Chain A
Amino acid sequence: MRRLLGSPALGAAVFAAGLLLAWQVLVDQKLISPVFFPSPSRTLEELWDQVASGRLWDPLAATTLRMFYGFALASLLGVVLGAAIGSSRTAREFLAPLLELMRPLPASAIIPPAILFFGLSAKMATIVIAFGAIWPVLLASVHGFANVERLLQDLCAALRLSRRDYLLKVAFPSAMPDILAGARVSLAIALILAVVTEMQASQPGLGQNILLAQRTYRSPELYAGVVTLGILGFLINRLLLLIERRVLRWQAAQQ
């Protein structure tokens, strides 16, 4: 027994199972209220029911797409702006202070003005998400484009590479590790803001669903939604790590 518990993976699984079991027993014995803490089996049942009946997919797809649109817009703008600021001193001097001023603003704080301009719409959500998610990828791109290896820069100058070719063929690949690391943070923020806009502006998706579940005291559904969001968050992080490893394989080979 001692040796079994000694193996870390098994120990971890036993611990997790023990926690869930304790929760289950506490609810079954009516020691804690199932209205606030529905038993794990009820939550699992609800989750399974959602999967089996297909009720899960529409909101899941809506949230994922919303997150993705905002993230795509943020990445595109972030890399383009980052390339400009990172590779040109003039652009840096003109733009950096403005961006420094906007950066500390909590992303959700632009929801009220965004609603004023775009109403409670999907467009509003995309813009809020893009605004919030742009910073990590932008800062990472600035760093990446500003720190292209000196030797490479000199080589490009010697080869009289056009500015476009330099940016596309040399600077962009060399900034890639930074950009991807920033993008991973951006994607996590995009998911958070997708949920926020769904709750604030009644856009369909997981965020709206868990808020509705709370209002009607359907707590197993609420917990199932939180679990789904947790799994989604985990998966997108893993996906980006995978992409990172794939795209950067040349770099690992180089070292």
Chain B
Amino acid sequence: MTRLLRGTAIPLLLIISWEIFSRTGSLPMDTFSRPSAIVAAGASGLADGSLLTATWQTFEAALTGFAIAAVLGIFFGVVLGLAPRLEAIVGPSIDALRPIPAVALIPLTLLLFGFGLKMEASVIAFACLWPILIVTVVAVRGIEPRLIEVSNALELSFAARMRKIILPAALGRITVGLRVAIGISLVVAVTVEIVLNPRGLGYTMIVAQQQLRSDLMYAQLVWLGLLGWGINALLERAVSRWPGAGVPGSDA
């Protein structure tokens, strides 16, 4: 109980003094806004659906990019994990791409696709690809060799081998990479929107800032924090129920 009290003490104190100082006029309204106004702006944004539309646009891009990265990352991860010789040849070329900050691709994808979902999703896919790919390679390498021998002895087809042996054995670890990637996808989505893509929560925040609607801007910021926090909590629960999750090798 005291723990809960101590944990909430500082945030509560900050919010209350923010409200009080704002009402006495010591905090300028156009930069600080005030908690009650922020809550009101958030409520009206939820009521007229504008907040949810923007949220959906951000999620749409994040999930599209994530899905592309998951398919590519798992496929190439399995292939490279099963063929160490191939990995030795192809690996360095892949490694050369990895240090490129995903945001550096924003102008490039803009050149290719113009504004919109495609450019945003492709930047997200690039950012999400690496944790998934690396974790998958490690996971497939870590599969008990006897399992692979069994699948060789049974002369399973590639598809059957994937479905019956490799994916089930490696999925626990792969989920860890997927979880990291989901977090990245949301962050990159908001970033691309804030930098220049005219859609989603990041864009509405920048617009609110430019219109000096600081109440709306903070409401969206809080909303974004809640979303991130909620998704994190959900993923943590989902992954902890997954058999074999949380094993070493997840620190990609």
Show the binding face of A for B, using Cβ within 8 Å.
8, 11-16, 19, 35-36, 90, 93-98, 100-102, 104-113, 115-117, 188, 191-192, 195-196, 199-200, 206-207, 210-211, 213-214, 217, 219, 222-223, 225-226, 229-234, 237
Report yes or no: B102 in contact with A116, Cβ–Cβ below 8 A: no
Show the binding face of B for A, using Cβ within 8 Å.
2-3, 6-11, 30-31, 85, 88-93, 96-97, 99-108, 110-112, 183, 186-187, 190-191, 194-196, 202, 205-206, 208-209, 212, 214, 217-218, 221, 224-225, 228-229, 231-232
Bound together, the chains give a CA A166 to CA B123 distance in angstroms of 46
When A106-B191, A230-B100, A230-B104 are in contact, do A11 and B206 touch as well, CB less than 8 Å? no
A-B contact pairs, 23 of them (CB 8 A): A12-B88, A12-B89, A12-B93, A16-B93, A16-B96, A93-B6, A94-B9, A98-B10, A102-B225, A105-B221, A108-B191, A108-B195, A109-B205, A195-B104, A199-B195, A200-B194, A210-B108, A214-B107, A214-B108, A225-B104, A229-B100, A230-B96, A231-B99
When A107-B187, A191-B101, A199-B195 are in contact, do A11 and B88 touch as well, CB less than 8 Å? yes
Residues of the A chain whose Cβ atoms lie less than 8 Å from the Cβ of B11 = 97-98, 101
The main secondary structure of chain B at its interface with chain A is helix
Bound together, the chains give a CA A178 to CA B124 distance in angstroms of 29
The main secondary structure of chain A at its interface with chain B is helix
Identity of the chain A residue whose Cβ is nearest the Cβ of B218 in the assembled complex: A113
Bound together, the chains give a CA A188 to CA B208 distance in angstroms of 29
Contact of B209 among A100, A112, A196 (CB under 8 A): A112
Report yes or no: A192 in contact with B99, Cβ–Cβ below 8 A: no
Contact of A93 among B7, B187, B196 (CB under 8 A): B7
> How close is A203's CB to chain B, nearest CB, in angstroms?
12
